[in-house]
Amino acid sequence: MLIAIKQKRGLMIQKALGEIKRGTSEIIDLEYIEKLVTRYYTEGKTYTVKVGFDPTGADLHLGHTVLLHKLKIFQKHGATVQLIIGDFTATIGDPTGKSETRKVMDRDTIIANAKTYQDQAFLILDRDKTEIFYNSVWFDKLGAAGLVGLSTLFSVARMLERDDFEKRYKAGQSISISEFLYPLLQGYDSVELKSDIEIGGTDQKFNLLMGRHLQRSYNIKKEQAVITMPILEGLDGVQKMSKSLDNYIGITENPNTIYAKVLSISDTLMWRYYELLSTKTLDEIALLKKGVEDGSIHPKIVKENLAIELVARFYNEELANIAKEEFDKVFKSNEVPSEMSEFIFETPIWICKALVDANIEPSTSQARRDIAQGAIKINQEKLVDDQLQLENGEYIVQVGKRKFAKIKVL
């Protein structure tokens, strides 16, 4: 009897570890994680997983969800998530992956961003198993002396080993001292919170390891395990998904937009998204891939399914299917979307001006160029005359394939 329970427990732990390992890029000190998970399943003891973020951009996108889903898995297996709002560190700016010094942010925007971040993070995370910390709490106390003390624990040479610093240094670009401080401060968070595990993107590896280094230096009896997750590429398939590059899919964007954006990614990138975002098992994904390769499944179908899965995750099945129908309507049958923004003008208006006012062209100059190239359609018909005045009536104007607006002239 006892043996049976033990065996069952062992299986559960193995399963948990399997889920934890899936899709990770690297795990440092897996043994420690095993120990923590085992202890949870045998003694019911919880442990902590730390994650930090810079409250720089207000909206979360799919790239963030890669991490959040991993955290959710941890919560399922006994972890308490320590969510650190880097309100202090954000005033410095994380140099990671940056080719130049980042601009510092003012405090009000940071706080506002932090709030929306939390609201959105809890779409995925379990609120009851999450603790939120603002790192200004301990950094305000640390003081100049503390900061100097902290900075004696690491050498410039080692700091310069870091890939992005090294590149910038060699390329003759500037690196400010505050940027050297950033990894130290992030690591110090782990000292304050005595975290058991820290998780971040692969580009965060250096900073994450700093946590281990500092925990050792400050004699916290343990060193955190480190997990890095792959970085999700943005819509272009090359650069990291980010708001500033405008290659992201935001989780609060409307279902139609999410659906359309997923469908616009390349076939190669699609597999990457499957791997990192889908809840399908790796075997199922491999099967799909094989199907596409031998021609038995059309890649478009596979992509559609991914889009539906993702929309359904942030909304529901029903809206996901509506998004698909809408998409097919507009792009397969070349019809007009059922909803679009509407603009009303009191008097007849020059077409170029109307396009600008309807926010689908940035300038009348651009509008003229697009007309010359045949990119503008009015009521489904190509427009040739760039002097056209819109008289009374209702018009559906279209720029390129995806920008629509309804214009009414009274």
Applying CB under 7 A, which part among 33-41, 109-117, 141-149, 256-264 lies near RNA?
256-264
Structure tokens at 387: 């002097």
Among 152, 174, 244, 296, binds RNA (CB under 7 A): 174
Classify residue 233 by its DSSP letter: B
Query: Contact between 265 and RNA (CB under 7 A)?
Result: yes
3-state secondary structure labels for all residues of 173-208 = CCCCHHHHHHHHHHHHHHHHHCCCEEEEEHHHHHHH
By rule CB under 7 A, what count of residues binds RNA? 42
Burial of 119 (0-12, 13-18, 19+ CB in 10 A): exposed
DSSP SS3 for 334: coil
C-alpha span between 140 and 350 (Å, rounded): 58
Among 18, 44, 172, 295, binds RNA (CB under 7 A): 172
Query: Contact between 391 and RNA (CB under 7 A)?
Result: no
Among 30, 364, 383, 396, binds RNA (CB under 7 A): 364
Between 24 and 257, name the residue whose CB sits nearer to RNA. 257
Query: Contact between 295 and RNA (CB under 7 A)?
Result: no
Query: Contact between 345 and RNA (CB under 7 A)?
Result: no
CB of 278 to RNA, least distance (A): 16
- b/e code 278-314 from CB counts within 10 Å (16+ = b): bebeeeeeeebbeebeeeebebeebbbbbbbbbbbbb
Q: Are 101 and 175 in contact (CB under 8 A)?
A: yes
Between 11 and 238, name the residue whose CB sits nearer to RNA. 238
Q: Are 354 and 390 in contact (CB under 8 A)?
A: yes
Query: Contact between 324 and RNA (CB under 7 A)?
Result: no
Between 153 and 388, name the residue whose CB sits nearer to RNA. 388
In the complex, which residues of this chain contact RNA (CB under 7 A)?
Answer: 169, 172-175, 236, 259-261, 263-267, 299-300, 303, 327, 331-332, 350, 352-353, 356, 362-366, 368-370, 373-375, 387, 389, 399-403
